[in-house]
Amino acid sequence: MIKHLLTSLISTALFACVLFVPTALADKYQIDTEGSHASIQFKVQHLGYSWLVGRFNTFDGQFSYDEAKPEASKVKVMIDTSSVDSNHAERDKHLRSEDFLNVEAFPVATFESESFEELGEGKASMKGQLTLNGVTQPVTIDVKHIGAGDDPWGGYRRGFVGTTTIALKDYGIETDLGPASTQVELEFNVEGIRL
Express each pLDDT in 21-59 by its tens digit: 343 579 999 999 998 999 999 999 998 899 999 999 999
Residues pairing with 158 in the sheet:
148, 192
Biggest CA–CA distance in the chain, Å, is 88
Give CA–CA dist 103/166, Å, rounded.
18
pLDDT band for position 130 (cuts 50, 70, 90): very high
Give domain status of residue 33, yes or no. yes
Domain that holds residue 167: 23-194
Query: Which CATH number is 148's domain given?
Result: 2.40.128.110
Confidence of residue 15 (pLDDT cuts 50, 70, 90): very low
Q: How far apart are CA 94 and CA 30, in angstroms?
A: 32
Write down the mean pLDDT value for the chain: 90
- pLDDT cut 90: percent of the chain above it: 83
Does residue 101 lie within any of the structural domains?
A: yes
Residue 7 lies in a domain: no
How many domains does the chain fold into? 1
pTM for the structure as a whole: 0.85
Tell whether 68 is covered by a domain: yes
Cα dihedral value 170, 174, 177, 182, nearest 10: 10
Secondary structure (DSSP) of the chain: -HHHHHHHHHHHHHHHHHHHS-----EEEEE-TTTT--EEEEEEEETTTEEEEEEES-EEEEEEE-TT-GGG-EEEEEEEGGGEE-S-HHHHHHHTSTTTT-TTT--EEEEEEEEEEEEETTEEEEEEEEEETTEEEEEEEEEEEEEEEE-TTS-EEEEEEEEEEEEGGGGT------GGGSEEEEEEEEEEEE-
Task: At 168, give phi and psi (nearest 5°).
Answer: -60, -40
Let me know if residue 4 belongs to a domain. no
pLDDT tens-digit readout, 62-111: 999 999 999 999 999 999 999 999 999 999 999 999 999 999 999 999 99
